[in-house]
Amino acid sequence: MTFTLDLSGRRAVVTGAGRHVGRALARALAEAGAEVGVNDLYGDRIDDTIQLIHDDGGAAFRLPFDVTDADAVEAALADVGTDILVNNAGNAGAEELTGVPPRLLDSKPGDWDKFFRVNLFGVMYCTRAVLPAMVERQWGRVITIVSDAARKPQAGMTAYGAAKGGAAAFCRAAAAEVGRNGITVNCISLGTIPQEQWEMADGPSEVSEHRQRAVREYTLRRFGTPEDITGMVVLLASDRGSWITGQTIPVNGGFSFSL
């Protein structure tokens, strides 16, 4: 018997799919047979991801909108007929490039807004927009990418961790509401998956030292790659994941452990 994760006939939407983790997730869902709506703020990134999916033999279409604009989200997703939503768009702040997060006392309340608009409200807007069609079909999958910054306290990640923790709480509550409609809602909690710019940045010596200290916190002694996430997302999106809901599942190289 062959174990397969087949998404043929399903329509997926991946936010922030123009690069990095989002791009890998869009390609993996398409490889499993889904038609994938590729969202990003930047049209050239969307086109690059779609080209890669087409080169892989998959199907994809453009969905350019800003996840922080509730009206734009509703207009873009109202008629898509989304079966699978992957809330991937996120903002981790300057640490994406420097590797050294600012501490709470070095930030101001105005600095926190960007984290909540993307990481929390963006998730809420997109999820709310796709649920009516899922309820009508009595089938749906919502998968939200959160962070271990919400699960394991980390200095310098206060606003980001709070926003990601809020997204996880929102998804648990949503799972409780829509489970009776055949819809599962889950989160995947990531450890560090460096951006290309993060890896290539020529920063001061303390940046390199910070990275070396950080990687030692991982049981597997390495940071993650976008491809490390794809298997769990495809599983949760498939019929094989139909009895998993309301969970925050760590995919983190052993950065943290939980029962």
pLDDT digits (tens, 9 = 90+) for 98-145: 455 678 888 888 888 999 999 999 999 999 999 999 999 999 999 999
Active site (catalytic) residues? 160
- pLDDT computed for residue 179 by the predictor: 99
The percent of residues above 90 in pLDDT, for the chain, comes to 67
- pLDDT computed for residue 85 by the predictor: 99
Third-level CATH fold of 11-251: Rossmann fold (3.40.50)
- pLDDT computed for residue 67 by the predictor: 98
pTM (predicted TM-score): 0.91
Query: What are the sequence ranges of the domains in the chain?
Result: 11-251
CA atoms of 186 and 141, how far apart (whole Å):
8
> Roughly what angle, to the nearest 10 degrees, separates helices 122-137 and 158-178?
10
For residues 197 and 91, the answer to whether their CB atoms sit within 8 Å is no
Q: Compute CA 67 distance to the chain's CA centroid, rounded to the nearest angstrom.
A: 12
CA atoms of 24 and 49, how far apart (whole Å):
9
- pLDDT computed for residue 103 by the predictor: 81
- pLDDT computed for residue 98 by the predictor: 47
CA atoms of 37 and 82, how far apart (whole Å):
9
- pLDDT computed for residue 97 by the predictor: 43
For residues 49 and 80, the answer to whether their CB atoms sit within 8 Å is no
Amino acid at 15: T
For residues 207 and 201, the answer to whether their CB atoms sit within 8 Å is yes
- pLDDT computed for residue 122 by the predictor: 98
- pLDDT computed for residue 22 by the predictor: 98
Answer with the residue of higher pLDDT: 91 or 189.
189
Look over the chain and give the mean of its residue pLDDT values, rounded to a whole number: 90
Out of 91-100, 120-129, 144-153, least confident range: 91-100
Query: How large is the average pLDDT for residues 184-197?
Result: 88
- pLDDT computed for residue 196 by the predictor: 66
- pLDDT computed for residue 198 by the predictor: 53
Answer with the residue of higher pLDDT: 258 or 57.
57
Q: What is the pLDDT of residues 201-247, one digit of tens each?
A: 455 555 567 677 778 777 788 888 999 999 999 999 999 999 999 99
Answer with the residue of higher pLDDT: 138 or 160.
138
